């Protein structure tokens, strides 16, 4: 699911990178693809490792800035990927990451904010999952969202991957 949502952001991200860096369209598109795949890999890695700060920020409904501490690991990986695979300087890669990562985060935050304004309490859903009252641990709960295999149906507690998918449909 995340890869599909990140693809939706691809065209706008490519334009942002091109206008901010002066790259041609083809190079900007390549950078956009690398950034989106690195973002997804890092988000998956952090959630699987128990670090939920990025996930919380992703659905906070609040504007995310480049200096947000939750993004440091993702930003560092994006910079490394851009310098290694595209041969651009670390300074240029840092500048691109400083624009691109908040753009992606806010791509999710805007609909999350709208969902919250429409009565969908994302924080409550996450808290229920964490407390065991509404689901399993968040690593497995969000596995389908971040690229793993979603479980079918609700779990015994009532909040499963199908509920998360419904939540995602409300957001987008």
Sign of CA dihedral 123, 125, 126, 128: positive
Residue 87: both structure tokens together: 């041969």
Mean pLDDT of 108-112: 76
Mean pLDDT of 41-70: 83
Note the pLDDT of residue 54.
Answer: 82
Closest to 79 measured CA to CA, from 91, 69, 94: 94
Residue ranges of domains in the chain: 2-109, 122-171
Q: Is 31:86 a contact under the CB 8 Å cutoff?
A: yes
pTM over 0.75: no
- For the chain, the average pLDDT equals 75
What is the three-state SS of 78-110? HHHHHHHHHCCCHHHHHHHHHHHHHHHHHHHHH
């Amino acid at each position: 699911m995340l890869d599909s949502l990140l693809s939706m952001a691809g065209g706008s991200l490519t334009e942002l990178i091109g206008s901010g860096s002066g790259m041609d369209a083809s190079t900007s598109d390549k950078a956009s693809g690398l950034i989106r795949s690195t973002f997804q890999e890092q988000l998956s890695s952090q959630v699987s490792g128990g670090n939920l700060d990025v996930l919380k920020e992703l659905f906070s409904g609040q504007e995310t800035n480049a200096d947000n501490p939750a993004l440091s690991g993702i930003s560092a990986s994006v910079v490394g990927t851009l310098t290694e695979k595209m041969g651009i300087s670390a300074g240029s890669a840092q500048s691109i990451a400083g624009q691109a990562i908040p753009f992606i985060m806010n791509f999710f935050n805007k609909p999350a904010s709208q969902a919250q304004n429409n009565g969908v309490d994302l924080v409550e859903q996450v808290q229920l999952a964490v407390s065991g009252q509404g689901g399993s641990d968040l690593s497995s709960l969000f596995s389908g969202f971040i690229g793993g295999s979603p479980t079918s149906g609700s779990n015994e507690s009532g909040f499963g991957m199908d509920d998360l998918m419904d939540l995602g449909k409300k957001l987008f």
